[in-house]
Structure 1
């Protein structure tokens, strides 16, 4: 099979499968909001120069790069997972398509998906210039920052998403958390600059004081000088290295585990699957289903709790216990500033399982044939709420003793809302990526704003906030029920 043709079909199939998702739209909405908002300062201060086409294009391009780095990763991270869990992986493994061709095609498909965000943000930049821009509309100066600043972020995030899928230890929910906070650290510290903020700010600051427009500094935009182009090409080169590593790490959907024990085949007793013993005695006895007994709620809750809490490493349980001890022993202001945000991150691995287990492991037919398939879904949510309250019980006890009823209500509303968000996201998308991306965005926003504080991290949440989150949780839970009923009819 021609490599280019195979790569094209892999990329195009991967691209088309992501167009109908909600995650891509969410990234566009977030990026557009921060680009058009007059109060939110993202990237760099827009008051550094006059709002001509060059500045509008550069600022919108930087905002787009930040949104793609933070949230675009969660849009394209399941490119290989869709083939692994939905069935085509085994067929692809049996074809003559080489590993590097498959990985490159998947990376190219990710680039095409995130390029949609880039193109839409170009349109947003034109719209923004028509509203607040000064001077004439120079399309080249408006578009050039997207090519120099945003596109390297697109290719880099696309490659990192592939790398996280090919390395088994990076496929879990913790890897998503590590990636998110690593990008935040890079953004705050400025160790590296994949967003392209540094060349823009330094170029604006180098403008002579005499070059002004309406009393403001007139910046003519970025130029394709050797230094700027070389720095941005370094990120593209790093991308190719990451894609190469991904191709080496790719196991071609091989789920077998090599034990490392080499035994002589002659010493291993083998039995043909077609061979039968001389005497076969099969006795089966199935008890009848008692439909009058009702739902055994405690047993279902216990089983769902074991499924959600099981399967984690010992370090996760130990870390959760230490955080709980810190929440009851440290001063309350310190707990709110440092411990509460961590407590609302720690159960992410539990929440991300909700709603996807049946489709991931193919158990939906068994759940659908049970007496109470919708009741089982509600049991998952109830267990998620109970686990969340268990994690927050130390903080809740401290707040209760302090007599802060509103903040206690905030904790309860968060415990109702987050599992409902996870259950609805998993039920509709059959993957944890939408929940992980949207929750991390809400987590960050909640720690900054009293209006979005569902965690009690600010200690100043408005009384309307918990009511709103409880209502949103109820809507999301009802949405998950609708999804379950749709699955039962299909």
Structure 2
């Protein structure tokens, strides 16, 4: 495949993605990240913690810290934005058309990788533009140095985003990881990368934090200041840091060579799945021609038996009808769940009920991450299975949406029943009940708004991990001491439920 054809495939796929409304939301998120990277001079939060000091807000410092923030957060969150390129070709039928062309599988995969990198790179470009605006807004230095501001994005951000783009291709070509399970796996992979990548011994330079840290320590030492630890991440400081002059990061030739090697490794990694990826070709996927013919729409329609119309019966009472609707939504929500998942849920219930009271909180945290892939179906299944238009033609969409939430409530209460029993005996039942209402309300609202399961799968694990790390202010489960009141969590749940119901109603009336 010629480079010209490869670039044409990547650009065409990139143009198709940027037409989607979700892309504008992603760019707005990049702007918000740029704002967090350069907080006000009297702010208590910071992206890069260098103790009680920070660099003056000039092009070198703002460009470097914003680029490091982009390497950290755009790689973690950007994966969920770009990981559906291959799945979209499969759903639309474009992949089957490409399978009939002379296009090599390796070329197709590299094209998707380059398209992913263009999307992530555009987010980094918006982040760099925001850095310019933030430098002028903070007013400590109005002299824009394009090289000092943009070079960190080339050496810190771009290589990490290239690895993310390649990982998205890899996850989409491995059957186990192309499902929602892969979204959860990526959260923990990216979390481990965030921690290990800040080490000076990280392979190929990691995130590059150690290079910035060495330069910052040297400049602080010249002012007689000793800093023992420099870390990357959104942190709160008791005292706003003081500004000092920083000379900028020293990019040694060896480090630049490592970053170029990262780009090469990412490109090769994107092509490796060509060994096993069938590129939508039934022959390579192990499907015979006869089996492929049987899976056509005409064959499926011919195999469906004639519909038997039931006898007309008296309409059930309203309460009984809603109970049947709720039972149906619960069956739909848990459809296809394997026996081993139920076995794990049962083990969590038994362990929670048998454990001592002091273990109720940790066991509840463990129980309420187990159904994350099932919760993510709320509000999104109809759209993703192509039956949204059919269901919209039915009456009472609000009742159906409410039944979806209650089905999620039943599942949440069931999985957390063991720890909930211990908490009830200790008088902590209101916190547990608020969590039972909040989690499915969050999943439903995100599913209805985004019409995809991916948003909840991307946002819930970090929220859950905050509770694991004893951040009481974000405890929606009632598992930590000093967390929000159950009334506040329940109110948030009702607001999320109201958001979902309002969205459904507006879409119904707009049709």
Q: TM-score, normalised by structure 1?
A: 0.83
User: 1:461 offset after TM fit, Å?
Assistant: 0.9
Residues 376, 329 of structure 1: CA spacing in aligned structure 2 closer, same or farther, 3 A cutoff? Answer: same
Partner of 1:414: 435
* 1:478 equivalent in alignment to 2:498: yes
Could you tell me which of 475, 478, 485 is aligned with 1:456? 478
Quote the RMSD (CA, aligned, Å).
3.6
1:184-263 alignment runs, 5 A limit: 184-189=191-196, 190=199, 191-192=202-203, 194-207=206-219, 209-210=221-222, 218-253=245-280
Partner of 1:392: 416
**Which has the larger displacement, 372-381 or 150-159?**
372-381
User: 1:243 offset after TM fit, Å?
Assistant: 0.9
CA deviation vs aligned residue, 1:280-332 (integer Å, no higher than 9, x gap):
x9895453475575462232222222222232334333332333333233344
Partner of 2:126: 120
Residues 341, 52 of structure 1: CA spacing in aligned structure 2 closer, same or farther, 3 A cutoff? Answer: same
SS in 1 for 2:19: helix
Partner of 1:25: 28
Could you tell me which of 370, 374, 389 is aligned with 1:346? 370
User: 1:154 offset after TM fit, Å?
Assistant: 1.6
The CA distance in 2 between the partners of 1:212 and 1:141, in whole Å, is 25
CA deviation vs aligned residue, 1:408-442 (integer Å, no higher than 9, x gap):
33332222222122222222322111112222232
Check conservation: 1:446, 1:452, Cα contact below 8 A. yes
1:218-367 alignment runs, 5 A limit: 218-253=245-280, 285-288=309-312, 293-294=317-318, 296-336=321-361, 338-367=362-391
The CA distance in 1 between the partners of 2:497 and 2:336, in whole Å, is 25
Partner of 2:295: none
Check conservation: 2:435, 2:489, Cα contact below 8 A. yes
Check conservation: 2:380, 2:451, Cα contact below 8 A. yes
The CA distance in 2 between the partners of 1:430 and 1:94, in whole Å, is 31
Partner of 1:73: 79
User: 1:46 offset after TM fit, Å?
Assistant: 6.0
* 1:435 equivalent in alignment to 2:456: yes
Aligned residues: 469
User: 1:365 offset after TM fit, Å?
Assistant: 3.7
Check conservation: 2:215, 2:250, Cα contact below 8 A. no
The CA distance in 1 between the partners of 2:33 and 2:73, in whole Å, is 7
The CA distance in 1 between the partners of 2:487 and 2:80, in whole Å, is 29
Partner of 1:61: 67
**Which has the larger displacement, 12-21 or 225-234?**
12-21
The CA distance in 2 between the partners of 1:385 and 1:293, in whole Å, is 23
CA deviation vs aligned residue, 1:212-253 (integer Å, no higher than 9, x gap):
89x987532223421111222232122112211244444323
CA deviation vs aligned residue, 1:92-115 (integer Å, no higher than 9, x gap):
445554433433333223222222
User: 1:443 offset after TM fit, Å?
Assistant: 2.3
**Which has the larger displacement, 84-93 or 362-371?**
84-93
Residues 206, 230 of structure 1: CA spacing in aligned structure 2 closer, same or farther, 3 A cutoff? Answer: farther
User: 1:385 offset after TM fit, Å?
Assistant: 1.0
CA deviation vs aligned residue, 1:41-83 (integer Å, no higher than 9, x gap):
5454264653353333222221221111221211222222333
Check conservation: 2:30, 2:127, Cα contact below 8 A. no
User: 1:368 offset after TM fit, Å?
Assistant: 2.9
The CA distance in 1 between the partners of 2:186 and 2:307, in whole Å, is 54
Partner of 1:171: 178
The CA distance in 1 between the partners of 2:377 and 2:284, in whole Å, is 24
SS in 2 for 1:221: coil
User: 1:374 offset after TM fit, Å?
Assistant: 3.1
Partner of 2:235: none
The CA distance in 2 between the partners of 1:282 and 1:344, in whole Å, is 43
Partner of 2:425: 401
Unmatched segments (≥5 aa) in structure 2: 226-241, 291-297
Q: TM-score, normalised by structure 2?
A: 0.79
Residues 181, 331 of structure 1: CA spacing in aligned structure 2 closer, same or farther, 3 A cutoff? Answer: farther
The CA distance in 2 between the partners of 1:436 and 1:386, in whole Å, is 20
